[in-house]
Amino acid sequence: MTLLRLMPLLLALAACSPSDPDAAAAPPLAGAKIGGPFRLTGGDGAPVTDRSLGKRWRVMYFGYTFCPDVCPTDMQAIGAGLRLLEARDPAKARAIVPVFVTVDPARDTAAVVKRFAEAFHPRAIGLTGSEAAIAAMAKSYGVYAEKGEASPGGGYLVNHARTTYLMDPNNLPIALIPADEGPEAVANALERWVR
């Protein structure tokens, strides 16, 4: 077959291909065993479950409010990244809720996590719960967290994983969100994976 005879076939195949190669790409965490049902306490003291979050995309971050550096920095990037997306694509951004889950429920009460989460974005939700409930959720998300030794003044740090997940409206894992790379990277990841 000559190239001239192949041209209509090649053009037809090109027309069937998405113009954006990422549009057809499977999400990197598709099928991963991350997450699952949960029941924790929201900032107003009421129960919050995976189902009560409705059909919203969730940016799940695990940390603690007494964290001296990493947690506030990552939460700031998440909130600022979502605001960037709000400017680019308001409808897509409205479908996303940032969720801060404490790994230090002994100090992070409902009121504390509410104030902390909302300081970074008005739609952010803070979650706390019993030690057992937090441990179970951290395990289901593959998040390491361990209380450090107490200082002479009684304070302590919590060693924990620095992982931010994007979960779809069915609470299935989609991708890691690079909060450690700043707001622009967060906005780009959300823009790419939220459908």
Give a yes or no: residue 32 inside a domain: no
Strands 96-102 and 164-167: unpaired
Residue 83's domain comprises: 56-146+157-195
Digit-coded pLDDT (tens) for 15-74: 444 445 455 689 999 999 999 999 999 999 999 999 999 899 999 999 999 999 999 999
Q: How many CB atoms lie within 10 A of CB 176?
A: 15
Beta strands in 74-172 (DSSP E): 96-102, 125-127, 145-147, 158-160, 164-167
Measured on CA atoms in the order 168, 50, 186, 131, is the torsion positive or negative? negative
Give a yes or no: residue 70 inside a domain: yes
121 is in an annotated binding site: no
Kindly report the CATH number assigned to the domain that includes residue 108: 3.40.30.10
What is the DSSP-derived secondary structure letter of residue 168? -
Q: How many CB atoms lie within 10 A of CB 50?
A: 16
The CA distance from 102 to 115, in Å, is 13
Looking at the DSSP bridge assignments, the partners of residue 48 are 40
Give a yes or no: residue 98 inside a domain: yes
What is the DSSP-derived secondary structure letter of residue 75? H
Residues 6+ apart with CB under 8 A from 91: none
Digit-coded pLDDT (tens) for 142-160: 999 999 988 888 899 999 9
Q: What is the pTM of this model?
A: 0.86
Give a yes or no: residue 76 inside a domain: yes
Confidence at residue 30, expressed as pLDDT on a 0 to 100 scale: 95
Confidence at residue 24, expressed as pLDDT on a 0 to 100 scale: 61
Tally of domains within the chain: 1
Lowest average pLDDT, out of 15-24, 80-89, 164-173, goes to 15-24
Give a yes or no: residue 46 inside a domain: no
16 is in an annotated binding site: no
Digit-coded pLDDT (tens) for 95-131: 999 999 999 999 999 999 999 999 999 999 999 999 9
Task: Name the helix (H) or strand (E) containing 47.
Answer: strand 47-49
Confidence at residue 9, expressed as pLDDT on a 0 to 100 scale: 36
Give a yes or no: residue 87 inside a domain: yes
Give a yes or no: residue 81 inside a domain: yes
Give a yes or no: residue 151 inside a domain: no
Confidence of residue 178 (pLDDT cuts 50, 70, 90): very high
